[in-house]
Amino acid sequence: MSKIFNNNKPIICVQGLGYVGSAMAIAVSSRLDNYNEPLFNVIGLDISSPMGKERIKSINSGVVPFKTNDKNLSKELKKSIKRGNLIATEDVNMYSKASVVLVSINCDLTRFKGNESIALDPFTNSVKTVANYISEGTLVIIESTVPPGTCEKILYPLFKKTFKQRNLNNNSFFLAHSYERVMPGENYFNSIINFWRVFAGINNESSIRCQKFLSQIINVTDYPLTKLDNTTASETAKLLENSYRAVNIAFIEEWGRFAEESGVDLYEVIDAIRMRPTHSNIRQPGFGVGGYCLTKDPLFAKIAARDIFKIRGHDFPFSTQAVSINTEMPLVSLTKIKKYFDNNLFNKKILLMGISYRQDVGDTRFSPSEIFYNEAKAQGAKVIAYDPLVDYWEEIDQSISNKLPET
C-alpha cells in the first residue's frame, strides 16, 4: 500500500465519527510540536453506511460533519486537511497502522416492554473489529460511556482471545478508559483541549501509556489529568457525573411546580441560595432534559449491577426516578398551553422554537422537544418547528426550515 501521510509521525485512529469522534479526530490532528509540525497523523473511521459515508466525505472536504457555531473547530479541521495529517475512511485495515486507537462509538440503552437493557453486542462487535486488525503494542482507549465493568470483564478478555486467535502475543496490547466530556456548541473544540480528563488503565503499563498520550492532546498545565485505580472506577465516574446532574435537575423540577402554584419567584430564590459556595451548582427549572447522556446514563449502573456483576439489591431508585421525572418535563409546558386554550389544542398553531436538546447544537437525539411535539400533535395541535442548526429532524422524519415562519 502506498504511503498515506508525508511524514513518519505516529498514527492515531479514531473509531466513530459522530459528535465525539469527529471532534476528537480534529483535536488530535491539531496538536503541534515546537516547530509547528503535527505531533500525530490521524485517521478517522466510520462504517460503510449512508451516514458514515457522508461524515467521511465531509471531513475529507474540510467541513465539520455537524452544524456548529464553533469557529475554532472548523478552523482546525481546515488546517489539518491542508497539512495533510487528517483523513477519514471506512477501511478497517487502517487500524493495523495505529499506535493508538480511540473508540468513540455509541453504547445504547434499549427499552422493550418496560424493561431496560444495554445494547452491548453492537458495541463489542465494533470493538472486536479493532481487535481483529490492530498490531502488537497498540494502545486502545475507550472514550464511550459504558456500564461499569465493561473494560475489565468484557473487552479485556475479548482482546486477549482475539490476539490468541491471531497468533499474536495476547499480552502485547494496552487498554484504557478515559471518558469524553465533549460539549458541542460554541466551545466544542475547547471542551476537549482545555478541560479536565479522567483516565484509568487495565494495568499499570496501559495507564502510563494513556497518560502520556492524553498529556500531548490536553492542556494538562491548566487542566491536570485525574488517574483512577482501575477502568471500572473510570466507567463509574462518567455515570455518576451525569446521574448527579440528572438528579439535580429532577429535584428542582418538583420545586418549580410548587413555586408556580404558590406565586414564588424560584429564580430569585435560587440566586439567593447560590450565594453559598456549597450550593452554587443548584439547577433551575427548564423545558426538559435531552441529549445522548443524561437521558440514559443514570440507568446504566443498575443494569450493570444486574447483568455484568450479577448482584441484586442495587436498583438506584433516585437515578431511575430522575430519568422518569425529566422525561415528563416537556409535558408540563404543554399542559400550561392546553389550560390556556380551555383544555382543547385541536387546530391550535404552536411555534416550537428549538429542536435540539440544547442551544447552539444540531443534535436532536432524545430531545425534549420531540416529546412535546409528539404529544401536541396527538392532541390535534399544528406544530411548526424551527431551529437554526437543524435542517432535518431525523426522529420524526421531517425537513425543517432555518427561517422563522411568518405569523
Strand-pair partners of 140: 101, 175
Q: Is residue 395 part of a domain?
A: no
Cβ 289 vs Cβ 329: under 8 Å: yes
Strand-pair partners of 200: 177
Q: Is residue 177 part of a domain?
A: yes
Whether the pLDDT of residue 138 is over 80: the answer is yes
| Domain carrying residue 93 | 11-229
- Rounded to whole angstroms, what are the CA distances from 133 to 96, 168, 221? 5, 11, 35
| Cβ count within 10 A of residue 94 | 19
Which long-range contacts link 30-35 to residues 24+ away (Cβ below 8 Å)?
Answer: 30/76, 30/79, 30/80, 30/189, 30/193, 31/216, 31/217
Q: Is residue 120 part of a domain?
A: yes
How confident is the model over 152-203, as pLDDT tens digits?
Answer: 999 999 999 999 999 999 889 999 999 999 888 889 999 999 999 999 999 9
| Cβ count within 10 A of residue 274 | 13
Instruction: Grade residue 2 by pLDDT with cuts at 50, 70 and 90.
Output: very low
Q: Is residue 53 part of a domain?
A: yes
Q: Is residue 1 part of a domain?
A: no
Q: Which three cell numbers stand for residue 186?
A: 460554541
Instruction: Grade residue 116 by pLDDT with cuts at 50, 70 and 90.
Output: confident
How confident is the model over 237-271, as pLDDT tens digits?
Answer: 999 999 999 999 999 999 999 999 999 999 999 99
Q: DSSP labels for 52-64?
A: HHHHHHHHHTT--
How confident is the model over 79-93, as pLDDT tens digits?
Answer: 999 999 999 999 999
Q: Is residue 394 part of a domain?
A: no
Q: Is residue 78 part of a domain?
A: yes
172: CATH: 3.40.50.720
The share of the chain scoring above pLDDT 70, in percent, equals 99
Whether the pLDDT of residue 363 is over 90: the answer is no
Q: What is the pTM (predicted TM-score) of this model?
A: 0.92
Q: Is residue 126 part of a domain?
A: yes
Structural domains counted in the chain: 1
